[in-house]
Amino acid sequence: MSPNPRRAPSRPAGFTLVEIMIGLLIGVIGIVVIMQTFAVSEGYKRTATSGTDAQVNGGIALYLLQRDLRNAGYGITPLVMAGCTSVVVWNSASGTSTAVRWVPVDVNPAGIPAGDPNTDVILVAHGTSDSFVTGVAANQVANSTDQFDITVNRDGFRNGDLVVGVQPGGGAGGSTSCVLNELTAVPSANGSCSAPLPPGSSYLLHGTSVYKNNSAACANTTPTHNAAGGIVDPGGVPVPRLNQANGAQLFDMGGAPEVKIYAIRNGNLTMCNAVTADCTNVANYDVVVNDIVSMHAIFGGDYVGSPPAGSTALGDGVVDQWSRNPLAAANDVLRTLAVAIEITARSNLREKPSPGSTTCDTTPDPTRPDRAQTTDWYQPFAALAVGSLAGAQIDVSHGGVVTDFNCYRYKLFQTVVPLRNLVWRP
């Protein structure tokens, strides 16, 4: 059949304006839901990521301190036993000397600038000599610039070794004089960079001319710890010569001894090596780990009960008291067999307040920054405490200086490190 010529033409297919508006509304609602889901997910992701960063930073900081504390006292213990807890260190670049606290470990050493409020400064020192465990008798003929005359054990010294000359009674008020020098020529065939002193020589040079440094692959080196006119102490008084008749000794610290000073500065863990820099100047501290906001330490001492401070009686090798008292006497230093430390790392993400609140509430208590922390970190040591341990209390607000502490998350790390080089004594 032929089509009906009177039939109305069909309407074109399509959407009405109402249908289009409804479709757009549904799409917008879907986009809003997706974006809200993404925002929540991204927030959780950022929190988790920043928490991981805090975990990593805290772990690295703890590792650095543990590593140095385990080396603390290596090659230094005999020097402390000889009466040296402070060593005059000359810096030829500045033409000045400083009195460096030269002990295996110390907390808040005198003369060192404090870190952030309510944090500790920790000093850790060790030598690097591979052949000496005690001092050897030494002599200088006329003054402190003369060569060191060594009649025994001279083959263990190397070019570039830093040595401490000890002269009993040579310091101010009859104290022991302890001075750092840098060896520039030795008689040993091993360690003299193929340029030993003449056969039969019994002396060690500590001059100011360029020399070949065994600790730097025999590269030419300009001495930094010797003075042509003689070293003077921080008060400007020339140091005494070593007089073997009066008990003078020379202690080899090796080619790269370290007196590292760790401090929290501006919310970061910083470090300065007092052998190579003036650590009384805050500008000489380098950041080693970011976002570390708290560090504290407690000494574990071996006193076999409670003998008087500075007692010469040796302990039994067991820690029987915990203290933050200053290590004033050499024997107090030698009795320190362990150090308990805490490190608190902060997330770098500033958290938003809870819904319905205008104030950050991520960390409500500055003394309990880690949500897993229920007591003071040092509480387990309180039973054997001597004096107050309150100075070890964590406060990430730094006494109210940091007003937004509660906007961040924190991770607490703590451990006890045995000082093995003080447990094993020569």
Give the model's pLDDT for residue 33: 81
Q: What residue spans of 213-282 are helical by DSSP H?
A: none
- Residue 222's nearest CA partner among 173, 171, 160 is 160
* φ/ψ bin of 167: left (φ > 0), alpha (ψ from -120 to 50), beta (otherwise): beta
Provide the terminal-to-terminal Cα distance of the chain, rounded to the nearest Å. 122
Q: pTM here?
A: 0.86
403-to-221, 293, 408 alpha-carbon distances in Å: 50, 14, 11
Task: Provide the pLDDT for residue 52.
Answer: 76
β-pair type (286-289, 258-265): unpaired
pLDDT at 102: 95
Tokens 């402390």 -> residue: 80
Report d(CA 133, CA 252) in Å as an integer.
9
| Spans in the chain with pLDDT lower than 50 | none
Q: Residue 15: CB partners within 8 Å, gap ≥ 6?
A: 23
Task: Report which secondary-structure segment, H or E, holds 87.
Answer: strand 86-91
Q: What's the confidence (pLDDT) of residue 207?
A: 95
Cα–Cα distance for residue pair 219/194, rounded to 1 Å:
12
Residue found by looking up tokens 């083959």 in the block: 155
Where along the chain do its domains lie?
A: 51-74+257-423, 77-252
Dist. CA 65–CA 99, nearest whole Å: 23
